[in-house]
Amino acid sequence: MNKLAICGGTPVRTKLFPAYNTIGEEEKRAVLTVLESGNLSQFLGAWHKDFYGGPYVQAFEKEWSTLFKVKHTISVNSNTSGLFAAIGACGIQPGDEVIVSPYTMSAGAIAPLIYGAVPVFADIDIDNFGLDPASIERCITPRTKAILVVHIFGNPSKMNEVMQIARKHNLTVIEDCAQAPMAMYKDKLVGTIGHIGVFSLNYHKHVHTGEGGVVVTNDDLLAEKLFLIRNHGEQVVEAKGTLDLLNTQGFNYRMTEIAAAIGIEQLKKLPGLLVERRKNIDYLTNGFEQIQGLTAPLVEQGNTHAYYVHPLKYDQSLFSGVHRNRYVDALKAELPSAVMREDTPLIGAGYVKPLYLQPIYQQRISACSFNCPRYTGQVSYAPGICPNAEQLHYNELITHEFMRPGMSTLDLMDVINAFQKVAENIKELIQ
């Protein structure tokens, strides 16, 4: 009766889970208004009032600044662009090193490469999966200029320790908040603790504009550089009277008026969507608690988790020695409808392969950076440099997205039943 689906039994559920969609009538109306105006972008790459974009772009930035309690908001066309702009704004040059996480979306480590600098991978913390402060310390050299912290899965990294290290070594701190909008660290919003915060508005994130991103800072000089990098700075600096020209050569990272109009509506929904994610997590956590060997993420006192992804740690010794991958395969068989949602798996064994294992680092493919004559260091990308990231990725971490808004209690119950069923019948998986 309880035979596991992977062994030929009946799956817990075959019905599709509800799709996650934050776009509604409000966004439709906003887009129509922009379309009817005929003004789909108002940016001008010159020192002119339109250097800062059109009415929706500026209104969106103003709303973002208010909600996130930050002085400057610079909208961009992706988080990736935002990370590139952030690295440029902190004056990174060939020969410099930037400490990055191996366990995140790949753009964080590419950003230093764009400016000819070298990404140095520090290991991750085994409780929150962000950078481990002790490992950051070990990575610091005279060439280190910045630390790029990622609040991965939505859980804040240890910012007090990171900022202390940064002050001691005079480093700039960039926070990648793509997965953690409005997450709190010691009662402060992440993204506003370091020098620059970067958010994503891509289609997979809590709220989105299709593609899009946001950079925030309380520092006037960094804000000026970010605006220049976003919009053809080299054409602007002379008339604007900018004195510090380092990295002011610009790109086109500009957001459209349509994206900004959608963004304004999405921002209004963000707090409610976070409440729903946390409510669903409470329900799931309660159900998972009875399963020996699965550990929910640690959220420290004073912090809140944005639950972009719910990472669970799997202790193989409490599952009769059955490997994590096998448990996840069995889970997927119990919830076959959850394996692909718009081509994205809702359950994963691990997250992303530790970034330094990608070919670009293994083969050191770069015109400058590691091969630059100005680079005097000897960065290592050898397998094993970040043992926590490798152990979590290959053996311990289970990630899932079942907390997405739109899930009903019955949907969540099916998820819990599947996790429990596989755990209770784990012996069927011993090979």
Ligand X SMILES: *Cc1c(COP(=O)(O)O)cnc(C)c1O
Interacting residues with ligand X (CB under 6 A): 78-80, 104-105, 107-108, 150, 176, 178-179, 200, 202, 213
Q: What share of the chain is helix, strand, coil (3-state, %, to 5)?
A: 40, 15, 45
H or E stretch covering 118: strand 118-121
Residues 146, 119: Cα–Cα separation, whole Å:
10
End-to-end CA distance of the chain: 21
Chain-centroid distance, C-alpha 28:
27
Of the candidates 275, 246, 237, the residue with the CA atom closest to the CA atom of residue 92? 246
Amino acid at 342: E
Contacting residues for 25 by C-beta, under 8 A, at least 6 apart: none
What is the distance between the alpha carbons of residues 130 and 136, in angstroms, rounded to a whole number? 11
Q: What DSSP designation does 322 have?
A: -
Place of tokens 């799931």: 284
Residue 160 is inside which H or E element, if any?
helix 159-169
Place of tokens 């091969």: 371
Residue in 264, 223, 209, 212 with CA at minimum distance from that of residue 67: 264
Per-residue H/E/C for 340-387? CECCECCEEECCCCCHHHCHHHHCCCCCCHHHCCCCCCCCCCCCCCCH
